[in-house]
Structure 1
Amino acid sequence: MTEADAIARADAPRTRQTLAADLRALGVQPGDVLIVHVSLSRLGWVAGGPVAVIQALQDAVTPLGTLVMPTFTLQLTDPAGWRRFAVPQAWWETIRAEMSAFDPALTPSRGVGQVAELFRTFPDVRRSDHPHSSFAAWGRHAEVITSAHPLSFSLCDGSPLAHVYDLNGKVLLLGTEVNTSLHLAEVRAGQRPTVQFSGPILDHGQRRWVTFDEADYNEESFPPVKAAFEATGAVTVGTVGSATAKFMSQREVVDFAVRWWRDAAAADQDGASSIH
């Protein structure tokens, strides 16, 4: 969506104050632990752009709360596995040898939007130390959420997603259907096989290429679970700026998805058994 499209979606400029008011009307409260996914263009034209969006979110949760956003860096994976942006095989060894190691302070995120990419650079924001699946956090629980991010199974127990779960956090979707918290449910439900990932990290200041176990995450399996959860009435739907906003308990959606996937797997097994 272009800036002209964003202007066309709004009947007036969105501002830090109006966005914060919309967030409060949706149910966001001071002290909330909030994992946020944002499509900036869907909000309409914002005076101050992504800076104002982040400030509005901070105003809504206050320093007593915590903001969390994914700051993923899948560009630091083995080029042999790249599909969308495949490069010639003759380049692979050079890329593996020369790719910069993940640095929480320097490495830009990719594919998570303008707001999250800017958020990681904001004052007092902490970022977890994972070469592919880092999260940035600001506020009261930022250090707890971003510390000791495990290398293997990076979106499972011990991850920032699990820390948000333990803190009874909430999920806020602004103009997007992306909900990273469902990856935690995928693994807890035993949904995904294990695959190997690799990439460069800094180990005591030295660059090192590491290989580790990871779940083979699959967002294509999410839509039926999302629809079933929303049908329970557990999602608050409203408007923030020009965007459709969805607000929910992270613990509730994760627990629901775990049960849903386990029940579906059991039904499949029963069906297979009846055939034989």
Structure 2
Amino acid sequence: MSEAEVIKRSKVAVTRSLLIRDLQRIGLVEGMTVIVHSSMSRIGWLCGGPVTLISALQSVLTPSGTLVMPAHSADVSDPADWENPSVPSPWFHDIYQEMPAFDPRRTPTFGMGRVAETFRSFPDVRRSNHPIYSFSAWGADRDALISRHPLDDGLGKDSPLGKIYDRAGYVLLIGVGYGNNTSMHLGEYLSGKLEMVERSSPVRMKGRRQWVTYQDGDYHEENFEAIGKAFEASQPGSAVFRFRRIGQAPSILLAQRAIVDFTARYIKEKSEESK
């Protein structure tokens, strides 16, 4: 959506002070651990752009809290796996030879949006070391969350998602739906029904670039909207989620552990029903 279209659809200029008010109203508080997924265009015309949203989130959480965003780079991977678009197979050899190794400081995010890409380079933000499933974090538990991100099962129990789960953290969806809720992949993993596949990426090990192969889940986020709606219906009036608008964006704050556990149970039950 162009900036002109966003301005036309905006009722007011969305400012930092307005965002802070809305974030507090939805339930964000000092000291919370939260992973944020957002759509800039759904918020409305934002005075200061993504920097304003990140600053507002940090102000509410304070340094005693922890702010996390996905910093995925799915393009740092085997070109044979690429779809929408794919590339001609005669190109593969050159890609294998020349693709830069993943670098947490330099590799841009891919398809994560302006807010996540801006957050990646913010002062005091650090990024985990996974070629396709990295996360950026700021705040009190930053280092604990991003350290030792394993290559295998990059969205599993030992990933930053699993560490947010262990800390009873939250998910904040600003203008996006459950299809963008990366934490639900942890539910897929914990269901025990996730099929595993091999992937490969260029990384730097012992000072040299090399392609490494690792185990990954065959994830299915296309099912997340249906799972999310079933989650909401299963707990009417529950305190595990809250709905508000942040700027003009319909938003949800929910307990990460609740949606992860529900996703795992839902997938297990559906798998049993299909037998």
Shorter-chain TM band: over 0.9
Cα deviation digits, residues 224-276 of structure 1 (max 9, x gap): 2100111123421110001001110000111111111112222222xxxxxxx
Per the alignment, residue 181 of structure 2 pairs with 179
Matched, 1:243 2:249: yes
Q: Which deviates more from structure 2 when the two are superposed, residues 238-247 or residues 228-237?
A: 228-237
CA distance in structure 2 between the partners assigned to 1:9 and 1:136 by the alignment: 31
Per the alignment, residue 29 of structure 2 pairs with 29
Same amino acid, percent of matched pairs: 45
Give secondary structure in 2 for the equivalent of 1:95: helix
Per the alignment, residue 201 of structure 2 pairs with 199
Cα deviation digits, residues 140-187 of structure 1 (max 9, x gap): 001011000000110001000000000110000000111000000001
Give secondary structure in 1 for the equivalent of 2:253: strand
Structure 2 counterparts to residues 1-276 of structure 1, below 5 A: 1-177=1-177, 178-231=180-233, 232-233=235-236, 234-269=240-275
Give secondary structure in 2 for the equivalent of 1:74: coil
The TM-score with structure 2 as length reference comes to 0.96
Q: In 2, are the aligned partners of 1:174 and 1:240 still within 8 Å (CA)?
A: yes
CA distance in structure 2 between the partners assigned to 1:123 and 1:223 by the alignment: 34
RMSD: 0.9
The TM-score with structure 1 as length reference comes to 0.95
- Superposed displacement of residue 8, structure 1: 2.2
Letter in 2 for 1:223: E
- Superposed displacement of residue 205, structure 1: 2.1
CA distance in structure 2 between the partners assigned to 1:54 and 1:191 by the alignment: 36
CA distance in structure 2 between the partners assigned to 1:51 and 1:223 by the alignment: 29
Give secondary structure in 1 for the equivalent of 2:243: strand
Cα deviation digits, residues 7-61 of structure 1 (max 9, x gap): 1232211111110110001110001100000101111001100000100110111
Alignment length (residue pairs): 269
